[in-house]
């Protein structure tokens, strides 16, 4: 009897598992089920007891499915499902839920009892729906529940009254919710046609927000929101504040320095009055600051500022004074720097590991440019006007750069720095015509080299057998990715010695013939698109090749395509005749239909030799036979001419 019960239970579990996992992705290591097929229609959900997370994303669900009892489910996400309503009993079979994500649907209301049974709920995400009345959130939670996160971003909120009591929450997200103003007493929302337009029915008293427990506040992307200085005092205890794309009051910098306890502050693209167009403020606990797009022209941080990360992109900054030795990352992209920024004399930013200066106006890197950044790991000066890099710009020893981006400049030559830790080097979109033979010697750990879109890169390499800078690529013993696209290359180089190379990008060159015998044997990705390739050969020998692209090449409609047919059929755009085609004579044909009938090439040379040998053997046999027959004839010719005659035993009668 016990055995029958066990077998019955096992069969039930197997059928449930097969039913769910036949249409969804089931990961039994993370105990997660993910369903994201738009054509999938789910009416009832039953899961194995071990499942703790269920993701129903991008499905067609006007209403939530019916859930069978499952007390172990902790996370439920139903995003982008087109839901218009949530029945009040939806979550009753799931009492253990801690995270509910209903974002990006069409919900306009929430039943007052829909969450009352969830005593362990901690995160509620309702962003990007159509919720307009905040009164329905009053008393929506189970008694004693305090949310870690409540996200109402992207909802057209229009109704809120003095009776509106927000659920107790530590992280409150109200970005893009049509907020009009915030002061020390209330939050006011904009008028919405068809809704109540009186002030009393579109404001929330501040004391209804449980401000004392709020640690994260997000009022961003409310472009007409005016924040009063009194409101700043109300939220002084918040440690993470996002006020980007709002209007900040006079005195904001003073509040930041003297009253706030904020650790992470985002005020990017705010309307903020600055004294002499200079940003100098730094909070006592501030670690991360984003002041992108506020119109600042100068930047200054004192030694006692605890700041670690600064994002000051999209400004008009042309000079900086940074004495904050705790700085770890500095992003100054898209500003007005004409000279490389150097810290004050005697200051070394020993903690700085990331420096971004792309899209500025610098023309050169001066001597000892990086001397004040001894521990720099990521350096980006792309999209400037650099035409010269001083040989002494990089320290000879000690610099631990991991990535260096010099792309989109005007560099025609480069020094050969010693960067033993460098993993990524980007030299794309320059005018480099030659690289020093010793350039790669100081880059022993380099894994990714991007040198694309240098039109004169091979101007000193007239043919395949002439000396070329690429002959020294074998010094990069760790190279994994190589991009030499759009560089005027007319022939396939000798790549065989690059044993660690996995990806080779040769798109947009002038290559006509490619033979896999010249390619690395461990190559996985090869991009030959937009070349002049007509023939390919021996690609069946590249056992590790997984991605081959030959689009927009004048391929010949012949047997040379046979080796690459499996790779071509894997291309998502193989059916597009504007990208994949082949030529037979002067006629152009779509490539896909031809691939169905292509046959392997026959080695005509080998057939010729075999026929020649067979003919020779037959001729030899015939001649040998004739000679042998002649010799036999000569030996036995006399015997063949003698004829034995019969002797008569009786005499013939004689006529007398």
Are the C-beta atoms of 210 and 169 separated by less than 8 Å? yes
The token pair that represents 341 in the structure block: 């920024």
pLDDT of residue 15: 36
Q: Which residues of the chain have pLDDT under 50?
A: 1-18, 644, 656
pLDDT of residue 176: 96
Strand, helix or coil for residue 341: coil
Are the C-beta atoms of 403 and 379 separated by less than 8 Å? yes
Question: What stretches of 32-173 adopt beta strand conformation (E)?
Answer: 32-35, 44-45, 53-56, 66-67, 75-77, 99-101, 123-125, 147-151, 169-173
Are the C-beta atoms of 360 and 384 separated by less than 8 Å? yes
The token pair that represents 610 in the structure block: 């075999």
Which segments of 286-381 does DSSP mark as H helices, in order? none
For the whole model, what pTM was predicted? 0.83
Pairing of strands 186-189, 388-389: unpaired
Are the C-beta atoms of 400 and 377 separated by less than 8 Å? yes
Are the C-beta atoms of 449 and 482 separated by less than 8 Å? yes
pLDDT of residue 13: 36
Pairing of strands 378-380, 388-389: unpaired
Q: Where are the domains of the chain?
A: 274-348
Helix, strand, coil fractions of the chain, as percent rounded to 5: 20, 20, 60
């Amino acid at each position: 009897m016990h055995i029958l019960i066990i077998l019955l239970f096992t069969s039930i579990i197997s059928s449930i598992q097969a039913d769910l996992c036949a249409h969804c992705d089931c990961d039994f290591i993370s105990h997660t089920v993910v369903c994201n097929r738009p054509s999938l229609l789910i009416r009832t959900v039953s899961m194995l007891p071990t499942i703790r997370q269920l993701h129903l994303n991008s499905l067609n669900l006007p209403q939530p499915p019916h859930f069978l009892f499952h007390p172990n489910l902790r996370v439920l996400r139903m995003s982008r499902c087109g839901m218009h309503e949530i029945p009040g009993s939806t979550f009753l079979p799931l009492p253990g839920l801690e995270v509910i994500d209903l974002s990006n649907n069409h919900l306009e209301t929430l039943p007052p009892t829909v969450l009352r049974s969830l005593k362990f709920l901690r995160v509620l995400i309702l962003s990007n729906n159509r919720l307009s009345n905040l009164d329905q959130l009053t008393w929506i939670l189970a008694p004693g529940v305090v949310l870690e996160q409540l996200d109402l971003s992207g909802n057209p909120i229009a109704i809120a009254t003095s009776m509106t009591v927000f659920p107790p929450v530590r992280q409150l997200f109200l970005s893009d919710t049509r907020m009009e103003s915030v002061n020390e007493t209330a939050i006011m929302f904009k008028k919405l046609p068809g809704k109540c337009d009186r002030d009393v029915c579109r404001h929330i008293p501040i004391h209804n927000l449980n401000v004392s427990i709020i640690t994260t506040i997000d009022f961003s992307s409310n472009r007409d929101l005016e924040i009063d200085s009194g409101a700043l005092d109300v939220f002084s205890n918040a440690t993470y504040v996002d006020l980007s794309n709002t209007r900040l009051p006079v005195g904001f910098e003073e509040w930041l320095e003297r009253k706030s306890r904020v650790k992470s502050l985002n005020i990017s693209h705010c309307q903020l009055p600055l004294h002499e167009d200079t940003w100098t403020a730094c909070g006592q606990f501030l670690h991360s600051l984003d002041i992108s797009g506020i119109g600042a022209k100068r930047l200054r941080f004192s030694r006692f500022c605890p700041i670690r990360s600064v994002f000051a992109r999209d400004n008009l900054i042309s000079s900086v004074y940074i004495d904050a030795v705790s700085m770890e990352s500095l992003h100054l992209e898209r500003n007005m720097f004409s000279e490389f920024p150097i810290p004050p004399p005697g200051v070394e930013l020993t903690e700085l590991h990331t420096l971004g200066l792309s899209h500025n106006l610098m023309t050169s890197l001066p001597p000892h440019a990086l001397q004040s950044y001894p521990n720099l790991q990521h350096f980006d000066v792309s999209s400037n006007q650099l035409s010269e890099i001083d040989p002494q710009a990089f320290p000879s020893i000690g610099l631990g750069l991991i990535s260096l981006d010099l792309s989109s400049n005007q560099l025609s030559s480069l020094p050969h720095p010693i960067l033993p830790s460098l993993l990524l080097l980007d030299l794309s979109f320059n005018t480099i015509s030659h690289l020093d033979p010793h350039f790669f010697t100081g880059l022993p750990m380099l894994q990714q080299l991007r040198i694309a879109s240098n039109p004169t890169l091979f101007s000193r390499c007239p043919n395949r057998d002439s000396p070329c800078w690429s002959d020294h690529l074998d010094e990069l013993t760790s190279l994994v990715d190589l991009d030499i696209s759009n560089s005027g290359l007319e022939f396939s180089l000798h790549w065989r010695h690059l044993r660690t190379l996995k990806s080779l990008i040769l798109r947009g060159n002038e290559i006509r013939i490619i033979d896999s015998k010249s390619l690395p044997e461990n190559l996985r990705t090869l991009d030959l698109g937009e070349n002049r390739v007509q023939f390919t050969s021996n690609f069946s020998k590249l056992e590790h090749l997984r991605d081959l692209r030959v689009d927009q090449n004048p391929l010949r409609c012949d047997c040379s395509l046979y080796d690459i047919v499996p790779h071509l059929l894997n291309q998502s755009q193989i059916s597009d005749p504007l990208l994949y085609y082949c030529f037979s004579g002067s006629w152009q044909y779509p490539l896909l239909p031809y691939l169905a009938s292509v046959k392997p090439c026959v080695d005509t040379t080998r057939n010729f030799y075999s026929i020649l040998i067979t003919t020779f053997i037959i001729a030899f046999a015939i001649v040998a036979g004739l000679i042998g027959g002649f010799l036999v004839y000569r030996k036995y010719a006399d015997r063949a001419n003698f004829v034995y005659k019969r002797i008569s035993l009786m005499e013939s009668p004689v006529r007398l």
